């Protein structure tokens, strides 16, 4: 820390500009951290559907919010930041998966996070039925085309059709068709 006098090297008048910039940066930082607190969970769950390991998901989310900070620092559009975050995270996740596949690291499919999770509130019979329904749901869910799974996950995270269309780069009409198709398959779970 030998640089304690370096601010005095800045020309007179500049410190005020610097202070202003710092203040703006810290306002933006607070905003980004607030969004991080709000949306890390939803983004994390969404990124998990790409079959990435947990630490990669974490890294994708870090990169996403850093990109948001840069985006806001440059004064770019603030319209629908939630959709923006999902879109950036989506693209970064694809890139990460591509890279790790090329290095032969990532599994082709997400592993089932299902095993070993039991609801302690249920009696054995209910638990058995419950486990069966879950297994069926999982089977149906995993058999869905990737794009349909994405649509469904994004909708479940509360995104509107228009936002989903933007994230996945598809038309509004195909979003509703995709969601309806997935749900139609899921309605058949109880009949299996």
Partner 1 sequence: MEHEEHLSDSRLLMAIDGELPERDAVRAAAHLAACWSCRARKQELEGAIAEFVRFREREMNAPVPPAAGPRALLRARIAAVTANREASRPWAAFRIPTRRNDAAAALVACFCLIVVAMVMKDAIATKGATAKEWTRRAPAVFVPDAHLTPGATVLVGRQDVCSSAAPKNRMVPVSLRKQVLDEYGVGNAEPRAYEVDYLITPALGGADDIRNLWPQSYAANGWNARVKDALEDRLHDLVCNGELDLTTAQREISTDWIAAYKKYFHTDRPLGIAQP
Which chain residues interact with partner 1 by CB under 8 A?
A: 1-3, 6-7, 9-11, 14, 17-18, 21-22, 25, 29, 32-33, 36-37, 40-41, 44-45, 48, 54-56, 58-59, 61-62, 65-66, 69-70, 73, 105, 113-114, 117, 119, 133-134, 137-138, 141, 152-153, 155-156, 160-161, 176-177, 179-181, 183-184, 186-187, 189-190
Residue whose CB is less far from partner 1, 61 or 167: 61
Query: Which CB atom, from 78 or from 142, has the smaller least distance to partner 1?
Result: 142
The owner of tokens 């202070």 is 19
User: Please, what is the minimum distance in Å from the beta carbon of residue 158 to partner 1?
Assistant: 11
Task: Report the nearest approach of partner 1 to the CB of residue 184 (Å).
Answer: 5
Q: What CA–CA distance (Å, rounded) separates 122 from 140?
A: 24
Q: Least Å distance between CB 24 and partner 1?
A: 10
Choose among 10, 15, 31: nearest CA to 73. Answer: 31
Q: Which two tokens stand for residue 108?
A: 């082709």
Q: Could you give the CA distance from residue 183 to residue 148 in angstroms, rounded to a whole number?
A: 10
What is the nearest approach in angstroms of partner 1 to the Cβ of residue 147? Answer: 15
177, two tokens: 């068709």
Consecutive H or E run containing 98: helix 81-102
Contact 118, 136 (CB under 8 A): no
């Amino acid at each position: 820390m030998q640089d304690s006098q370096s601010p005095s090297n800045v020309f007179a008048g500049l410190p005020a500009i610097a202070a202003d910039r710092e203040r703006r940066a810290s306002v933006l930082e607070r905003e980004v951290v607030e969004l991080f607190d709000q949306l890390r969970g939803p983004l994390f769950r969404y990124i998990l559907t790409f079959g990435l390991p947990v630490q990669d998901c974490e890294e994708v989310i870090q990169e996403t919010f850093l990109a948001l900070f840069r985006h806001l620092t440059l004064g770019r559009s603030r319209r629908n930041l939630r959709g923006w975050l999902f879109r950036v995270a989506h693209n970064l996740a694809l890139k990460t998966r591509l890279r790790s596949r090329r290095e032969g690291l990532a599994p082709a499919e997400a592993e089932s996070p299902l095993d070993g999770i039991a609801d302690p509130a249920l009696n054995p019979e209910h638990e058995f039925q419950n486990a069966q329904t879950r297994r069926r749901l999982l089977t149906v869910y995993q058999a869905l085309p990737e794009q349909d799974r994405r649509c469904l996950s994004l909708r479940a995270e509360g995104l509107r059709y228009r936002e989903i269309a933007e994230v996945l780069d598809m038309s509004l009409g195909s979003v509703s068709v995709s969601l309806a198709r997935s749900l139609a398959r899921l309605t058949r779970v109880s009949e299996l």
